Amino acid sequence: MVDSKPWALITGANGGIGQALVKEFINEGYQVIATDIVELETNRTKCVVNVQLDLELFATDERYANQFVNSVGEITEGAGLTSLINNAAVQILAPVNSITRTDWQTSFNVNLSAPFFMVQAFLSELEKNEGAVVNISSIHATQTKKEFVAYATTKAGLSSLTRNLAIDIGNKVRMNAIEPAAVSTEMLKAGFEGKELQYKQLEKHHPLERIAKPEEVAELAIFLCSEKSKFVHGACISTSGGIQGCLSDPD
């Protein structure tokens, strides 16, 4: 007998935001297909099925993509997805003269092409289930800094893709994006190891005087997939703690 709980597919489930997303969707009564390029536990639990997925291959290899789509159909036993959360991303930082073609193409394959092909692959079942898609974009879609050119360009593309898909898809599936600024993941904290003062300065620079928690991004994703946000479509929502409006003058 098929479980009546809706299914959510979450990419990048092993990261800080990804783990929070999985937890929040389970708490809201979903069953979750949690994917990541990192090999996860293969055993199926009551609410989570972990699946290893290479998003670059998904974007570039149609046979590989079809195999994954078929496996999702088997996992859901034909019930299909109700929510798709395109969360996974790669962040390759380098100045313009150091970015290789591989760096550039990998960034676009994972951060932009894979989310598009995910939507394309699961559109019919999301429509059947009156579902929703949430793309995890970034503040870098609109504001950025040096050495983020590859990452920022793909995130600008992802936010644009969200708006354009909303128009192209119409009322079939709701399509929205979240644009977080800094989020207090373990990866971010590791980057500030030995630089506690700089971390505190980053927090203070936000009008809220702190940075986002992964759970806060996940809670917004839940809202965007819920009945409470029925008229939210094609939106790219900033979760920047107000820093998006800050003008930083030189010292």
Based on the structure, what is the number of domains in the chain?
1
CATH code of the domain covering residue 131:
3.40.50.720
Q: Is residue 38 part of a domain?
A: yes
Q: Is residue 250 part of a domain?
A: no
**What is the number of residues in the chain?**
251
pLDDT digits (tens, 9 = 90+) for 48-76: 999 999 999 999 999 999 999 999 999 99
Q: Is residue 96 part of a domain?
A: yes
Q: Is the pLDDT of residue 225 over 90?
A: yes
Q: Is residue 246 part of a domain?
A: no
Q: What are phi and psi of 192, to 5 degrees?
A: -105, 15
Of 37, 38, 145, nearest in space to 93 by CA: 145
pLDDT of residue 49: 96
pLDDT digits (tens, 9 = 90+) for 96-153: 999 999 999 999 999 999 999 999 999 999 999 999 999 999 999 999 999 999 999 9
Average pLDDT over residues 204-211: 92
CB 84 within 8 A of CB 131: yes
pLDDT of residue 22: 97
Q: Which residue has the tokens 């990998």?
A: 106
Look up the domain containing 29 and give its range.
7-240
Q: Is the pLDDT of residue 45 over 70?
A: no
Task: Share the mean pLDDT of the chain.
Answer: 94
Q: Is residue 156 part of a domain?
A: yes
Average pLDDT over residues 205-223: 95
pLDDT of residue 1: 37
